[in-house]
Amino acid sequence: MNLRRLQAFRAVFEATSVTSAAQRLNMTQPAVSRLISELEKELGLALFVRERRRLVPTTEGRAFYREAERALAAVDQIVDIARDLRTLKGAHLRVVAPMITAFGIMPAAIEAFLMAYPQARVSLETKDIRDIADWVVRGPFDVGVTVLPFDDPHIECEPLATVRGVLVIPNDHRLARQRSVRLNDLRGERLILPSPGFPMRAQLSAPFEALEIEYQNSIDTPALSACQMTARRLGVTIVDPFTFQEASGLGIVARPLRPPIEFSFGFFFPANRSRSALVTAFVDATRSIIRSHVPRNLIVR
């Protein structure tokens, strides 16, 4: 049975007028009349009689309306379900991330995602980078964002971006007047670094060791905390542009480094698990943040 004919019948039955039904359906009056005629022919029943310029349902028409309404209500429910799937209404995205991305990339990424899908729900779990693979495989998580490389047989990785790190210093620091800072300019400075044993620690300290540049190090803490301590003039730090943006209102400034120190970030997913529309939407939102929030001169790829 033609769905459009049933919808026309319901509209005429409820409006008691072809004119009003046509307006409701955004159709012409002849088109609605034709659909009703075709339905009556298909059923072999007279569904309406005309009385004083009004269409009055017949006894058969009233009985048919009750059955048609049940069918159309089911169709309406299917349409609503499809709309909810499209808008991710009620969907629950579970994200896991180490602190460097949980406090850096994630706030802006989640904001962009919820602006596009405001009826979705997001849970962000912050974990030690060394434990994340187990959490994604064993825990109820859909996607993660972390620093790369990140190798684990249970994890599927996808690059997000490689960016140049920035030196974060108090806004009245001796180097704040420079447009860029050489690593050698940091000789003797107190550097606030991630804790020993974390991949980012080796990544930050290796260039200084290669150039034989001595520095002080008496504070080990994650990137956002390092920015906060820099604001208190406890030292200087090197972080990714996302983390600096989250901390930029603390009376600190960022300067590019020469030679640059690069950070690579990527998504990771449980291997052999198909990606839902929810996860794809989050990936797209996060990529949009890279394009809109990071200065071009700091994006490598």
> In 3-state terms, the chain is what percent helix, strand and coil (to 5)?
50, 25, 30
Maximum average pLDDT range among 66-70, 74-78, 224-228: 224-228
Displacement of CA 66 from its chain's centroid (Å): 44
Structure-model confidence comparison of residues 182 and 128, the more confident one: 182
166-260 matches 92-162+264-298 in CATH topology: yes
Cβ–Cβ < 8 Å for 10, 16? no
Band of pLDDT at residue 86, cut at 50, 70 and 90: low
Structure tokens at 8: 């026309």
How high is the pLDDT of residue 76? 65
Number of H helices, E strands in the chain: 11, 13
| pTM, two decimal places | 0.67
pLDDT at 294 exceeding the cut of 90:
no
Strands in 92-97's sheet, in edge-to-edge order, are: 121-126, 92-97, 143-148, 262-270, 155-164
How high is the pLDDT of residue 137? 66
CA distances to 54, 178, 186, 219, 253 from 194, in Å:
80, 25, 17, 8, 19
The dihedrals phi and psi of 175, each to the nearest 5 degrees, come to -95, 0
- The CATH number assigned to the domain with range 166-260 reads 3.40.190.10
Mean pLDDT of 102-124: 87
Find out if CATH 3.40.190.10 is the number for domain 92-162+264-298. yes
Cβ–Cβ < 8 Å for 72, 10? yes
Q: Determine the Cα–Cα distance for residues 269 and 86; give it in Å rounded to an integer.
A: 22
Cβ–Cβ < 8 Å for 169, 176? yes
CA distances to 10, 13, 17, 106 from 51, in Å:
18, 14, 11, 65
Q: Which residues make beta-bridge pairs with 252?
A: 170
Q: Determine the Cα–Cα distance for residues 229 and 222; give it in Å rounded to an integer.
A: 11
The dihedrals phi and psi of 187, each to the nearest 5 degrees, come to -55, 125
Q: Determine the Cα–Cα distance for residues 279 and 94; give it in Å rounded to an integer.
A: 9
Structure-model confidence comparison of residues 255 and 2, the more confident one: 255
The dihedrals phi and psi of 267, each to the nearest 5 degrees, come to -85, 155
**271 half-sphere exposure, CB direction, 13 A CA radius:** 9
Burial class (CB in 10 A: 0-12, 13-18, 19+), 198: buried
Band of pLDDT at residue 136, cut at 50, 70 and 90: low
Q: Determine the Cα–Cα distance for residues 252 and 224; give it in Å rounded to an integer.
A: 12
Q: What residue ranges do the domains of the chain occupy?
A: 3-87, 92-162+264-298, 166-260
pLDDT at 131 exceeding the cut of 80:
no
Band of pLDDT at residue 110, cut at 50, 70 and 90: very high
Mean pLDDT of 160-166: 92
Find out if CATH 3.30.450.20 is the number for domain 3-87. no
Triad 165, 170, 176: Cα angle to 5°:
75
